[in-house]
Amino acid sequence: MRYQRVVPAGSKTMAEAGDANPSLTAGERLLSLDVYRGLIMFLLVGEGAAFYHALQEWDVPWLRTSVAQFHHVEWRGLVLWDLIQPGFMFIVGVAMAFSLAKREDRGQSWGKQLRHILVRCVILFLLGTGLHCVYADALVFELWNVLTQLSFTILVAFLVFRWRWWVQVLVAIGLIVATDIAYRLVHVSPYDATFQPGQNFGAWVDTLLMGKTNSGHWVAVNAVPTAAHTIAGCVAGQWLRASASDARKAAVLVGVGVALIVAGYAMDGLGVAPIVKRICTSSFIVVSAGWCVAALGGFYLVYDVWRWRAGAWFLVVVGMNPILIYLVTELLAWGWLNPKVDVFVGGVLTAVGLSAAVAAVFTAAVTWALLWGLCAWLYRRRIFVRI
């Protein structure tokens, strides 16, 4: 992990980026990617600030449907919140395409790139497993954190990065199919129910790796199929660096994304495989990858082709320090910052007669704003923490 007090090589301030030519080289930044990443991190910060939880507790009938989009489906189905982790994995892949191209332009050997990736993956793995120790207030070995799984997907995506795009796609499909087959064919009692919570192949693997299963039915083997998200990001990033017109790049991304979305829902509807995020079934990987690819195409069209700038800075400042703000949110937001804010905000609001549920929503909103302010402060001072 390294600290930077300058804009990363090739990047620009938002003012400068607003007038940048969207024709991309290895050293240039995609404003669309920064906005997309910023949106995902901003939503994650909202969860850490307990905003969605507070809204859920605030029993307002017309809010129920909207709030449900910010809580994982219990098992089968898909809502907005189920797309956050795939989006994070996918965005890392897109960024990798530009980062690795830049390293190649500098003449860096594959071996040096591999060493950099390995160090990065080790750090992510340690951070992910370390967070579980913090959650448990004890030394534990658990592999369900997104950073731990990202350490695997990054390495896989790197190892196939120099291959032709269609070979990378075949590798991604192979990972999805291999995992799907394992769920269907590997039945070890009592883990012999193909796609049932806590009774499937993934749960059995967890007992081998960690001697336990997850109470929320998440499984560590998710790292294998979700590597397809990071590979898809790399392929999309390579496409954005191609010589095609900007409009065609956007159109292809949106078109491919829509096709994957249709295919994923069709797999679920036709009974091929249910959409289950908690075990990353094949249909879930396909449909979520589709949403990610289509979203990137849409953001690219709006921010890099049409040069739309409204609201971009608000999100970019959050996305420029993704790992740092993720760690701050996970370690401090809900357990420490929110209660401290509640002393003042909640205390005043309840004192003037508002209900505790309403006060909790305002407390969470202020906590969210403070965390965004931290991101803006870091951005203005060109402080970026990179791995």
Structure confidence at residue 310 (pLDDT):
84
Average pLDDT over residues 248-277: 97
Structure confidence at residue 28 (pLDDT):
59
Structure confidence at residue 10 (pLDDT):
34
- Could you tell me which of 316, 330, 308 has the C-alpha nearest to residue 380? 316
Partnered with residue 4 across adjacent β-strands are 384
The Cα 384–Cα 375 span in angstroms is: 10
Structure confidence at residue 22 (pLDDT):
36
The Cα 296–Cα 302 span in angstroms is: 10
State phi, psi for 63 to the nearest 5 degrees: -90, -15
pLDDT tens digit sequence for 34-66: 999 999 999 999 999 999 999 988 877 778 788
Residue type, 317: V
The Cα 333–Cα 369 span in angstroms is: 11
Both structure tokens of 161: 């990065």
pTM: 0.90
Q: Chain-centre distance of CA 348, in angstroms?
A: 36
- Could you tell me which of 31, 40, 35, 33 has the C-alpha nearest to residue 323? 40
Average pLDDT over residues 280-289: 98
Structure confidence at residue 384 (pLDDT):
87
Both structure tokens of 352: 């003037």
pLDDT tens digit sequence for 364-377: 999 999 999 999 99
Structure confidence at residue 13 (pLDDT):
36
State phi, psi for 318 to the nearest 5 degrees: -80, -40
Whether the bond between 197 and the residue before it is cis, its omega within 30 degrees of 0, is no
pLDDT tens digit sequence for 220-248: 999 999 999 999 999 999 999 999 999 99
Structure confidence at residue 271 (pLDDT):
94
pLDDT tens digit sequence for 165-187: 999 999 999 999 999 999 999 99
What is the helix (H) or strand (E) element at residue 66, kind and residue range? helix 64-68
Residue labelled with tokens 């590979």:
231
Average pLDDT over residues 85-100: 95
Structural contact between residues 119 and 386, judged by C-beta atoms closer than 8 angstroms: no
